[in-house]
Amino acid sequence: HSAGLHYPGASVPAYSTFCCLSGDEQDLNERLKRLYPAVNEEETPLPRSWSPKDKYSYIGLSQNNLRVHYKGHGKNHKDAASVRATHPIPAACGIYYFEVKIVSKGRDGYMGIGLSAQGVNMNRLPGWDKHSYGYHGDDGHSFCSSGTGHPYGPTFTTGDVIGCCVNLINNTCFYTKNGISLGVAFTDLPPNLYPTVGLQTPGEIVDANFGQQPFVFDIEDYMSEWRAKIHGMIARFPIGDRLGEWQAVLQNMVSSYLVHHGYCATATSFARATQTMIQEDQTSIKNRQRIQKLVLAGRVGEAIEATQQLYPGLLERNPNLLFVLKCRQFVEMVNGTDSEVRCLAIRSPKSQDSYPGSPNLSPRHGASNPHLHTGGTESPTCSNGVTPLKSKNRSSIKYPSASSSASSSTSSSPSSINYSESNSSDSTKSQPRSANSTQETRWETLEKKPNIYIYILYIDSEMEIEAEHYSNGVVDGSSARIMNGTYKHEEILQPDDNSVDEECSNGRQLCGGNQAATERMIQFGRELQALNEQLCREYGKNAAHKKMLQDAFSLLAYSDPWNCPVGQQLDPTQRESLCSALNSAILESQNLPKHPPLMLALGQATACVQLMARVRSGSCSFARVDNFLH
Amino acid sequence: GSCILSFDINEVTATSRHYVDRLFDPDPQKVLQGVIDMKNAVIGNNKQKANLIVLGAVPRLLYLLQQSSSGLDLRTECAVVLGSLAMGTENNIKSLVDCHIIPALLQGLLSPELIFIEACLRCLRTVFISPVTPVQLLYTDPTVIPHLMSLLSSSQKTQEYITQIFSHCCKTSDHQTVLFNHSAVQHIAPLLISPSYKVRMQALKCFSVLAYENTQVSMTLVNVLVDGEPLSQVFVRMMQRDQPVEMQLTAAKCLTFMCRAGAIQTEESCIVLKTLPCLVRMCSKDHLLEERVDGAETLAYLIEPDVELQRIASTTDHLVAMLADYFKYPSSVSAITDIKRLDHDLKHAHELRQAAFKLYASLGSNDEDIRKKITDTENMMDRIVSGLSESSIKVRLAAVRCLHSLSRSVQQLRTSFHDHAVWKPLMKLLQNAPDDVLIMASSTLCNLLLEFSPSKEPILESGVIELLCSLTQSDSPALRINGIWALMNMAFQADQKVKVEIVGCLGTEQLFRLLSDPDNSVLMKTLGLLRNLLSTRPHIDQIMSSHGKQIMQAVTLILEAEQSIEVKEQTLCILANIADGNTAKDLIMTNDDMLQKIKYYMSHSSVKLQLAATFCISNLIWNEEDGSQERQDKLRELGFVDVLHKLSQASDPNLSDRAKTAMQQYLA
């Protein structure tokens, strides 16, 4: 049972694969991905072949630009010719390796294998010039930006496989011959070197292996040593702990994380076990938790209402957030989950039951609200703070012709059939469910377990338990995983007496299949449109809002919104980011950190590793944050 | 001050006394508490441990441990305290062993209680891993090993302790056989994939000691599967670079020993691409001094018999240059800055040097290019020269091994060996050295005495002959061979003075003894010496005039004896040399028996012998010399012409040519 901490920034964008890759290319991509997981190929592509553009004319390429042959006169060193790979070696490789097989040593076997920077003269063998490095087959010497070589290794000839390994952590290079390491050849290498080979006499042919084939040398074993070294360095990094200071920081990290997400009971248990304080008071945490649950349950209208009630002025100061919330509310109306349509559609307990202690200050809307059915565009009934403005019927919006009679925005034919039902639904609010009581039960179970770490592991199981309370055991435990610092609830908060089986997509209907609800939804849509226009006037055009609104309205264009191109919006997981944004806004309004320090630290570490790649610090390859998340 | 001090000691003894007294309490509960208190008192306190031992706690603890009436808790605590006492000094261990702790603890292993068994094993482990404990004590009772094998399945702790005991107590091939016959391989192999690192590590160590120079074990190991995987692959995985160094090194040892025992071919990739590079890595500066010593020695052993592995190792990771660093301890920096470091360096300096010499010796034993690479390494010859006279016998032996390996190079003999006058320390080494050093040194001397070696002259002048002659009287066949071999090389194209000195010093008696040496190679080299002595006419006549009788006797004896073709060929060659002398010829001509022998060998089935015998006759009948006519006539009478005639038709071109040349002497 894992706590499932996963930071989104930690994953590096995958190399964009094309739809029609041959099997070989796919193998190559997979092998390169495995060898160099930290490389972002969108920023820094890996060498995959020799460059037909970056070579001397005496060089011929064949076999997908992997085979190099000499086609000059080969009289003397002035006839030397080189070719570079298509891309320089990215620093994020950490350890980079390629091999060259000598297919034929030709006349004299004057072959050089090595590295060179962009722009180094190609009418030369690698190693002879500045920023050029090579190991030559005829004498086994290494050439370090100089015309004179140093005795380095054995000579090499037809049939030998020579490997070149660049260590971007300590900026050294060593060669291998037939799978045996020959030891360091160069130190203090500059960045951005290209794999390079040079030939000088007729008949010389070499084949490169940039990962197309398994290597003769066990490079992964070498990498594993460096990975272990760097992990060891991190593990042993001196933190200069003054008595308990470090522990206090860690405890604060855990505690603030729990508080941030409103895991009130766990946070309290943790605080008690570690004898630390919680910065936010319990009521505040519980309030936020309540609001989050509402959003995650798709009851956005209630969430807005609760927010306005508990944090007056918050949404007014954040009109964009309000707009996004309203958009979501609209989507949830389509979904049939928002209480404004739910209470019309089915006999559902009103969510206000969940707030036994909170005074009913704001006017309730819903079935009992007679204004709802006036249906006019000037309806003043919207209690969620949408200033009712005249809304235009957008011609671009297509309404499903079959589903509703409310095809026109001006149409206001309220059907009264829902009155009785909704009234009765009001009367069923007789079974108050208290979040507090659940948490207390929970607390008791926690009390019995002395190990504080169990509490942390329980973060998500706590959610399950609380969810059960709402759903009377409908929960599928596996769906309640913590993702990205929020929780994925799927169906957790679906009311138990919901007779409509929403899990079965075939049975799902717009707004729960209720006409009054549909009308309410349409009306709400108009209000939303009006709000958008108002915001445009006040703050200027907002492309994101426009897109959001369009997407939301587009849902109505399909007979089965759940299985349409924009149907993704209806997925309950879409509520998570909104939930997290609202939570952050509330915390900010209380002068508390917008993001939990744990996530900040994680994000910082991730960004740091990415930055390391950009400033060419090769150890980033083995210091990846996800190596440390379990 | 002294008064207070003695008071302190009394005080300490008094408390110790109290702990021992409590072991004799009639109330078993109080005894148990006493043992527990004692346990807490001795942890990490060597003085307290020594006191308790002196005060006789051990026999009482052993008594309590062995009494079945003691109860499990008490018996276990007793074993724990004994284990703690064993953790102290070597003297503690000696005392414990003297109190017969080992049989008592081994008896304890028969208990059904795992917790007690584990405590006993832990204590046994601590006792057995001490160098002062005689390992034989593990094998005295033949039921112990099988019982330990059966306990291997009990728990991770028993596995760890038992494998550790085995790996420390397996010192001889007999021990290997005992363990092997009790299915050690089958019992220990599964532990290689134990979840406990300690168990994996100790199991691995067991295999390294079991496989060392043991073909039977090694051949078995290659066929063992662990969880479906061949054992060699398990070892390869343990050599991965992210594994702890100790594990990499021990796994490399296992594969090395299996390879040397012939169970794995030297060209297999697990040796060439894994074991060898792993051992080279161990030699690098990144590792502890102990690891570098172990790595170099193991590598030297791995590549010793195989030139291909020597070539690969010599190009891997600049090994030859890397080894030069082994001579830089203690470093000048460490001496000044860090006393602790200096101490550490000093302790390992000898080990490092001898390991490097050993590895250089293996690397250079076959390939001329590698030898050149080694002698070209900075200050190499100087290092060898000073190594030859180091105080540590281990270093001297390794240095002379290295020198010997390099002395196989004609080029090095001509150049660096002479430039550095290596013969001087070598000669010094030959005085009063133990046999193993002497064997290497004299063998090296053989090479230095080769005719093209510029060191030959100064060595001769240094009066080495007596020493070499004394070597020929050694009980060790290797020393006798080296002695006579060196003399043989020395006599090759030597001055008459040297030859006379050799003969005089060796004495004909010793010469005869060597000619009947049970070791065939000694005989061959002695004949070689004779041949070299009997070359150029004046030398032949001179030596034969003084020792002719004895030499002719020896030649007769060998030709009459059951000897190999090679020996008889050498002997006939000596005879041919004698026949080349002026006056020496008569020694043959007047010996009809010898002439008959020559005739016999001219018709021998071996062409080699025919050729040598014909050579002899050819020398006797050679025209230009005094009395050739008489000799020709006599030999004709004896029927040699017919034989020569027959041989001139021989199918072997050399033989027929030789016979024809001889025939021509008659025609002239």
B-chain residue closest to A174, CA distance: B317
Given a cut of 90, is residue B147 above it in pLDDT? yes
Q: How far is the C-alpha of B198 from the C-alpha of A590, rounded, in Å?
A: 54
Does the CB of B242 have a partner CB in chain A at under 8 Å?
yes
Cβ contacts (< 8 Å) between B241 and chain A: which residues? 221-222, 224-225, 228
Inspect the interface and report whether the beta carbons of A180 and B241 lie closer than 8 Å.
no
Amino acid B332: pLDDT:
67
Token couple for B221: 């190991």
Do you know the residue count of chain B?
668
Of B240, B316, B318, the CB nearest to A180: B316
Q: What share of chain A is helix, strand, coil (3-state, %, to 5)?
A: 45, 15, 45
Summarised one tens digit per residue, pLDDT across range B314-370 is: 999 999 999 999 998 887 665 566 777 777 888 889 999 999 999 999 999 999 999
Report which listed range, A516-530, B124-138, B577-591, is most confident: B124-138
**ipTM score for this prediction:** 0.81
What per-residue string of b and e applies to B12-39 under the rule 16 or more CB within 10 Å gives b? eeeebeebbebbeeeeeeebbebbeebb
Amino acid A377: pLDDT:
36
Amino acid B313: pLDDT:
97
Given a cut of 90, is residue B59 above it in pLDDT? yes
More confidently predicted of A457 and B197: B197
Amino acid B335: pLDDT:
55
Nearest Cα neighbor of A1 from A391, A462, A351, A451 is: A462
Task: Return residues 438-467 of A near B (CB < 8 Å).
Answer: none
Does the CB of B317 have a partner CB in chain A at under 8 Å?
yes
Amino acid B11: pLDDT:
57
Q: What share of chain B is helix, strand, coil (3-state, %, to 5)?
A: 75, 0, 25
Given a cut of 60, is residue A483 above it in pLDDT? no
Inspect the interface and report whether the beta carbons of B242 and A227 lie closer than 8 Å.
yes
Do you know the residue count of chain A?
630
Do the Cβ atoms of A90 and A39 come closer than 8 Å? Answer: yes
More confidently predicted of B581 and A122: A122
Token couple for A337: 């989950």
CA B367 to chain centre: 21
Amino acid A346: pLDDT:
52
How many angstroms separate the CA of residue A235 from the nearest CA in chain B?
15
Q: How far is the C-alpha of B240 from the C-alpha of B257, rounded, in Å?
A: 18
Amino acid B163: pLDDT:
97
Of B240, B241, B315, the CB nearest to A177: B315
The H-assigned helical ranges of B190-288 are 197-211, 215-222, 231-238, 245-260, 269, 276-282
Count CB pairs under 8 A between chains A and B: 39
Indicate the average pLDDT of chain A: 74
Given a cut of 70, is residue A379 above it in pLDDT? no
A-chain residue closest to B280, CA distance: A181
DSSP conformation letters of A444-501: HHHHT---HHHHHHTHHHHHHHHHHHHHTT---GGG--EETTEE--TTTT--TT--S-
Cβ contacts (< 8 Å) between A184 and chain B: which residues? 318
Q: What is chain B's alpha carbon radius of gyration, rounded to the nearest angstrom?
A: 35
Q: Residues near B342 by Cβ (< 8 Å), separated by ≥ 6?
A: B330, B334, B335
Inspect the interface and report whether the beta carbons of B318 and A182 lie closer than 8 Å.
yes
Element (H, E) at B550: helix B537-560
Q: How far is the C-alpha of B349 from the C-alpha of B356, rounded, in Å?
A: 11
Do the Cβ atoms of A553 and A331 come closer than 8 Å? Answer: no
Do the Cβ atoms of B601 and B610 come closer than 8 Å? Answer: yes
How many angstroms separate the CA of residue B285 from the nearest CA in chain A?
13
More confidently predicted of B635 and B98: B98
Q: How far is the C-alpha of B412 from the C-alpha of B367, rounded, in Å?
A: 12
Q: How far does chain B reach from its first CA to its final CA, in angstroms?
A: 111
Summarised one tens digit per residue, pLDDT across range A424-447 is: 333 334 344 443 434 343 433 433
B-chain residue closest to A173, CA distance: B317
Task: Return residues 420-459 of B near A (CB < 8 Å).
Answer: none
Q: How confident is the model at residue B2 (pLDDT cuts 50, 70, 90)?
A: very low
CA angle, corner B475, sides to B473 and B479, nearest 5?
70
Of B242, B269, B274, the CB nearest to A225: B242
Q: How confident is the model at residue A456 (pLDDT cuts 50, 70, 90)?
A: very low
Inspect the interface and report whether the beta carbons of A180 and B272 lie closer than 8 Å.
yes
Average pLDDT over every residue of A385-403: 39
Q: What is chain A's alpha carbon radius of gyration, rounded to the nearest angstrom?
A: 33
Nearest Cα neighbor of B444 from B458, B433, B430 is: B430
B-chain residue closest to A230, CA distance: B242
Q: How far is the C-alpha of A481 from the C-alpha of A485, rounded, in Å?
A: 10
Q: What are A167's strand-pairing partners?
A: A95, A172
Contacts 24+ apart (CB under 8 A), B504-509: B505/B465, B505/B466, B505/B469, B506/B469, B506/B472, B507/B469, B508/B547, B508/B550, B508/B551
Percent of residues, chain A, with pLDDT higher than 90: 32
Whole-angstrom CA distances from B642 to B603, B612, B637, B648 are 11, 18, 10, 10
Nearest Cα neighbor of A587 from A403, A336, A314, A376 is: A314
Mutate which of A221, A222, A622 to disrupt the B interface (most B C-beta within 10 Å)? A221
Summarised one tens digit per residue, pLDDT across range B513-555 is: 888 888 888 989 999 998 888 888 888 888 888 888 888 888 8
Q: How far is the C-alpha of B389 from the C-alpha of B369, rounded, in Å?
A: 27
Amino acid A387: pLDDT:
37
Q: How far is the C-alpha of B167 from the C-alpha of B191, rounded, in Å?
A: 14
Whole-angstrom CA distances from A605 to A5, A253, A593, B282, B379 are 15, 15, 18, 35, 50
Inspect the interface and report whether the beta carbons of A180 and B277 lie closer than 8 Å.
yes
Average pLDDT over every residue of A239-263: 83
Token couple for B26: 């009639």
Count other C-beta atoms under 10 Å from residue B435's C-beta: 12
Average pLDDT over every residue of A147-158: 94
Of B242, B269, B316, the CB nearest to A181: B316
Cβ contacts (< 8 Å) between A161 and chain B: which residues? none
Do the Cβ atoms of B597 and B559 come closer than 8 Å? Answer: yes
B-chain residue closest to A232, CA distance: B242
Amino acid A343: pLDDT:
65
Cα pseudo-dihedral B643, B646, B651, B657, rounded to 10:
70
Summarised one tens digit per residue, pLDDT across range A109-125 is: 999 999 999 999 999 99
Given a cut of 60, is residue A491 above it in pLDDT? no
Inspect the interface and report whether the beta carbons of B316 and A218 lie closer than 8 Å.
no
- Among A204-208, A550-554, A585-589, B183-187, the least confident range: A550-554
A-chain residue closest to B312, CA distance: A180
Cβ contacts (< 8 Å) between A153 and chain B: which residues? 315
Do the Cβ atoms of A314 and A289 come closer than 8 Å? Answer: no
Cβ contacts (< 8 Å) between B242 and chain A: which residues? 224-225, 227-228
Cβ contacts (< 8 Å) between B322 and chain A: which residues? 183
Q: At what angle do helices B46-54 and B28-42 cross, to 10 degrees?
A: 140
Q: How far is the C-alpha of B118 from the C-alpha of B124, rounded, in Å?
A: 10
Amino acid B351: pLDDT:
94
Summarised one tens digit per residue, pLDDT across range B96-109 is: 999 999 999 999 99
Whole-angstrom CA distances from B281 to A397, B236, B285, B318, B402 are 72, 15, 9, 10, 22
Given a cut of 80, is residue B668 above it in pLDDT? no
Q: How far is the C-alpha of B216 from the C-alpha of A413, rounded, in Å?
A: 98
Inspect the interface and report whether the beta carbons of B241 and A183 lie closer than 8 Å.
no
Do the Cβ atoms of A81 and A57 come closer than 8 Å? Answer: yes
Q: How far is the C-alpha of A104 from the C-alpha of A207, rounded, in Å?
A: 10
Q: How far is the C-alpha of A193 from the C-alpha of A118, rounded, in Å?
A: 7
Does the CB of B233 have a partner CB in chain A at under 8 Å?
no
Of A153, A174, A228, the CB nearest to B242: A228
Does the CB of A218 have a partner CB in chain B at under 8 Å?
yes
Nearest Cα neighbor of B95 from B139, B27, B144, B46 is: B46
Q: A167: number of CA atoms within 13 Å, CB side?
A: 21
Q: How confident is the model at residue A461 (pLDDT cuts 50, 70, 90)?
A: very low
Cβ contacts (< 8 Å) between B308 and chain A: which residues? none
The pair phi, psi for residue A587, each rounded to 5°, is -60, -40
Sheet holding A161-167, edge to edge: A59-62, A67-70, A204-209, A95-105, A161-167, A172-177, A180-186
Task: Return residues 143-202 of A near B (CB < 8 Å).
Answer: 153-154, 174, 177, 179-184
Token couple for A14: 């995958």
More confidently predicted of A470 and B478: B478
Given a cut of 80, is residue A497 above it in pLDDT? no
Amino acid A630: pLDDT:
67
Given a cut of 60, is residue B50 above it in pLDDT? yes
Cα pseudo-dihedral A170, A173, A179, A181, rounded to 10:
-80
Inspect the interface and report whether the beta carbons of B273 and A180 lie closer than 8 Å.
yes
Do the Cβ atoms of A325 and A579 come closer than 8 Å? Answer: no
Element (H, E) at A197: strand A193-199
Q: At what angle do helices B640-648 and B607-620 cross, to 10 degrees?
A: 130
A-chain residue closest to B238, CA distance: A221
Average pLDDT over every residue of A449-471: 35
Does the CB of B277 have a partner CB in chain A at under 8 Å?
yes
